[in-house]
Structure 1
Amino acid sequence: FKLKRWIDQFQCSICRDVFTVPVSTPCGHNFCKACISGYWDTTSQSQCPLCKHTFYIRPELKTNTTLRDVADHFKRKRVRDESLHRLFCRTDQMCVCQFCTETDHKTHHIVHLEEECGERKAQLGKMDAQVQQMIQERMQKGWEIKHSVELNKRDAEREITDSMQVFTDLVRSIERSQAELIEVVEEKQEAAEKRLLKAMFSEITSGKLCVCRLNRKLPLLPTDCQQPVIG
């Protein structure tokens, strides 16, 4: 934790890397010259990214020579340390130097860093292939589900259309049967009315004939029995 805080002292809060040409603002904070200049170029006013202090006139930035020298020394030391740690301890999962393999990591499983990187890359490649395959399978499954939903939707629409057609045909059949029934009833009613009228006319005709025969027979009756015929 202390080492991290020590390293943070030489890191620019904008680029999060070791200072390159460190400069100080009037509020006392340090940044890479390119970082703070670029930051101010993209804002409407000159403001400290850390304390948010606003400078109404863009200040002239001066190189912090002390911090620059320390940062340069830290960079050189980091490059030198990184060049030494070309081995990897699989037991502790960390980079080590040749001296460490003969002391603290003497009984551990040590391999060259390039070998470990190669194996890690191979594992990542395998994992990436598996992820890509899983994505393809999920996409294929999604397409199949979508296709199935579309088929079910079309089947449902076709079933609704067929049902509506059956219902329409049934209604038409009922309407046609109703019309035929009405026609039959009307024909029967008309025939019954004709028969009734024919019977009435027949009775009237028979009655008239009977009256005529009676009128012809009246003169032949005895005088004392004869009654005047009305009509």
Structure 2
Amino acid sequence: MATAGSHLSEDQFLCSICLDVFTEPVSLPCGHNFCKACITDCWNSTASGLCRCPMCKETFNTRPELRVNCFISEMADHFRKSVQVTEEQDREDDVPGGMSCDVCIDTKMKAVKTCLVCLTSYCETHLEPHRRVQTLKTHQLVEPLGSMEDRMCKKHNKILELFCREEQRCICTLCSQTDHRSHNVVALEDESGKRKEVMRKTKTECEQKIQERKLELQKIRRSAEVNKEAAEKETADGVEVLNALVASIQKRMGEIFEVINRKQQEVQQKAEQSITEIQQELAELQMTSMECDKLSRSEDHLEVVMYSLPPASITLPCSDWYEVLMDNKISAGTVRAAVTKMEKTLNEGMEALIKQLEEHHFQVTPPPPPRHRQGSSIKPPSLQPPSTKPRLRAPRHHFSCYAPV
């Protein structure tokens, strides 16, 4: 199926008033077609108030009701898109790596600037009048644009050169006369200048915050290093002290065992000496008992009197051996009780030390909420499309470090 561009020429889609492709085309009773905005402005500008066709001059007693001709509108849109695609393909084929000049005929040269007023891209040669002629110097030149579709009004197919601050959108001149007539409309240059000023201030604030955050990072890293060094030193000192404590305990334990052994030997010697003496006394007592028993049984009174001692002079060995008992003050339980008491004291000291170390840690203290500037009605630029969901902002923190003591 053949396309519309292969059978119809551009003249068949041009409005005779604005000389551009139809935008919202309407058909008059006489059969001629115009842009709805163009014919409305034409009739509104006549002093007599008569409604007349600009082409055939036919006069209408009452203003016709203007309705968009959907068929012509679709054909015009299709033709506009086909022409745009064709021009872009020609530019890409003619000038590799860039846009071609719209004015060059034979050899297409690379475009260096695009005029937003003329809607034309120029090479260095054809751009010369814009740099020389005074009236053309006021035109806005930008880097070469491959497509002007994003810069055109979707409704009126006009260049976007105004900005509506109430609806926060770019509009064309026809939009400012119709839908945005009562709105606060300014030139794009004014809105761009205002937003650039906000961007410059935002950039300055960002750079200041960047420097502050870099300083905070340096402080945090330095504090972390100091904390690490202090922790390593504390660990080394703790190991050294604990090893010394263990060595001291082992040394003292050896001394305690030596004292216990020495005392045990002394007690053993005393016990052996006492046992010898008691055994001697026991032998003497047994002998005296045997003699007494023998004499007490004798019938010879002379023998009893001659060999026995007088009753008043008879003495028996009666040493008080209760005083020679073994000294058991260093018996089992003394060392255990002392060591248990030392262990309790050591554990209490260790728990207090651990609690003290736990209190010195790395803290992150959130700062107070930021204070917003007042008096500015322009929001900072955003690369994201508008959304009804609330934006979440990462909280900023103030960091402070404490090294353990």
**TM class by shorter-chain length?**
0.3 to 0.5
TM-score by length of 1: 0.44
The structure with the greater share of residues assigned to helix is: 1
